[in-house]
Structure 1
Amino acid sequence: MEHHRIASDRAPNVTIMPTTEDASQTVADMFLATVRTNPACRLGLATGQTPRRIYAKLVDAVRAGRISFADVETINLDEYCGLPAAHPDSFAAYMHRELFSSAGFDAAKINLIDGAATDEAAEAVRYANLVRSRPVDLQLLGIGTNGHIGFNEPGSSASSRVRVVELSKETLAANQPTLIELHEVPARAITMGIADILDARKIVILATGEAKAEAVRRSLMEHPDDNCPASHLALHADVHWVLDQAAAGLL
């Protein structure tokens, strides 16, 4: 494992691994260590292409008898507006497909946004209260090519909280290939804000692939800026960036 310190006044914790698989294993190991230390911890979870390998490794660990998630509480970052949990393109369905249904989580301890809520503002308030009810012990993040974390698009401030957001053209285009049944990515979502993310005790952000390299460079090498939401992670005392060689290419 290589540890590379980036030359800046913030000295972030950055681990660069040779491959995507190695990087995913590094993050999975952090989750396993957190749960072993505190079996009833609260884990903050993300969706998308990047976490898939992490979740597969956590499922493998459960099947091998190396871990139990029975007492773990989870809370997710975001959800598309207008999609019920049972819809294959909802993030709720993704979480059950990729992790929950195979890893022995207690359904009563899984916290998800209701994308089908008729009153979206009220659902954002409900979820905001849930987020604030208990700190996240380890928050997983990916990063968009435009620097978004969760669905906090460029322009999001470090003080932002759970809210309804409009998704950027870049995000809509990036998420289009992941669709299963829908023909178009929903234009709106409910997301935890950057301030909610920064409330976590520890944050790990995984970035893999050359397409993420510029967003990673901006986040790590430039000062915090609303135009690159992930750059606000510099305000947190315990953030671990895990990159593969391709994502680290511009550092």
Structure 2
Amino acid sequence: MTIFIAPDKKWTVDKLQVQVYPGRSELGISAAQEAAEAIRERLREQDRVRIVFAAAPSQNEFLEQLCREEGIDWSRITAFHMDEYIGLRKGAAQRFSEFLRRNIFDKVCPGTVHLIDGCEDVEAECRRYEELIQEAPIDIVCLGIGENGHIAFNDPPVADFADQEMIKPVPLEEACRLQQVNDGCFPDLSSVPTHAITLTIPALMSGKRLFCMVPGPTKRQAVRNTLTQPVSTACPATVLRSHPNCTLYVDVESYDDGELV
């Protein structure tokens, strides 16, 4: 029997729907249930559904529950991911393609999986992946928000709300690289790659439905900035407030009522 978890609080900021949960487990379960229903609904309406996934520890509970959801014909899903390190050796556990293989792709076996390869010619890889992204509309994007407010690897210095590209190579801010250490993905800053390939903000925002999962105390400032700062690339995640169908899922550790008064 499916148990639905009601949020402790829900409201909208501009167009962004915000839901607060008591913990990251409840957040992940609820977000996955809502995402699964959106996938099932689109599968009833069209032959294939195209989904972009984020790879980060913040997505763990969400992905775990999504794999459990019934009634999804994964053979009709085309899966993408939104970013990848440049130069990290093939098979490295920190590669985002490997994270998603472990946490969802090898479990549910989507019909088609398009992976970004950061070890190939970067310009050629960007052209290849952009062609795949543009073959048809993106139905669903499952994402998070970085400690510096990035979405995908669009850090404040490189974020562009009107980017003409769908995917591009970018340098990574030190704050972004430190987050990878804080998340336990790398032992120290020197081990974290300095550049990555990322879907741009227009590519992410082109998704018809966005699910944004942001648990944990290290994300509290980013959540605060996302909900209260002017919409600008100073905090790239603020752009989510302009999307017509995006839900932000937070927990009591990443959101504090008192801080937003």
Do both share a fold (TM > 0.5)?
Answer: yes
Pick aligned residue for 2:222 from 201, 215, 226: 215
The structure 1 segments of at least 4 consecutive aligned residues displaced by more than 4 Å after TM superposition are: none
**Separation in 2 of the partners of 1:11 and 1:59?**
29
Pick aligned residue for 1:116 from 114, 119, 144: 119
CA offset digits 1:142-185 (Å, max 9, x no partner): 111100000000131102331000111111111122138x9701
Check conservation: 2:40, 2:71, Cα contact below 8 A. Answer: no
Query: What secondary structure, in the 3-state scheme, does the structure 2 residue paired with 1:4 have?
Result: strand
**What's the offset of the Cα at 1:18?**
1.0
Report matched runs for 1:166-185 at 5 Å: 166-176=171-181, 177-179=184-186, 184-185=191-192
Q: Once superposed, what is the RMSD of the aligned Cα atoms?
A: 2.0
Are 2:81 and 1:81 aligned?
Answer: no
Are 2:237 and 1:234 aligned?
Answer: no
**Separation in 2 of the partners of 1:178 and 1:212?**
16
CA offset digits 1:64-111 (Å, max 9, x no partner): x553312111111000111354322211111111111111323xx101
Pick aligned residue for 1:164 from 169, 172, 181: 169
Residue 45 of structure 1 corresponds to 53
Check conservation: 1:139, 1:202, Cα contact below 8 A. Answer: yes
CA offset digits 1:103-126 (Å, max 9, x no partner): 1323xx101111111x21121122
**What's the offset of the Cα at 1:52?**
1.2
Of 17-26 and 232-241, deviating more is: 232-241
Check conservation: 2:169, 2:195, Cα contact below 8 A. Answer: yes
**Separation in 1 of the partners of 2:255 and 2:249?**
9
Residue 154 of structure 1 corresponds to 156
**Separation in 2 of the partners of 1:206 and 1:96?**
19
Provide the TM-score with structure 1 as the length reference.
Answer: 0.90
CA offset digits 1:194-238 (Å, max 9, x no partner): 011111101111111122111111111222111101011122111
Amino acid at match of 2:206: D
**What's the offset of the Cα at 1:21?**
0.5
Amino acid at match of 2:229: E
Check conservation: 2:16, 2:242, Cα contact below 8 A. Answer: no
**Separation in 1 of the partners of 2:103 and 2:77?**
16
**What's the offset of the Cα at 1:59?**
2.3
Pick aligned residue for 1:205 from 212, 226, 231: 212
Number of aligned residues: 243
**Separation in 2 of the partners of 1:77 and 1:124?**
12
Pick aligned residue for 1:55 from 40, 43, 63: 63
**Separation in 1 of the partners of 2:15 and 2:190?**
43
**Separation in 2 of the partners of 1:51 and 1:4?**
20
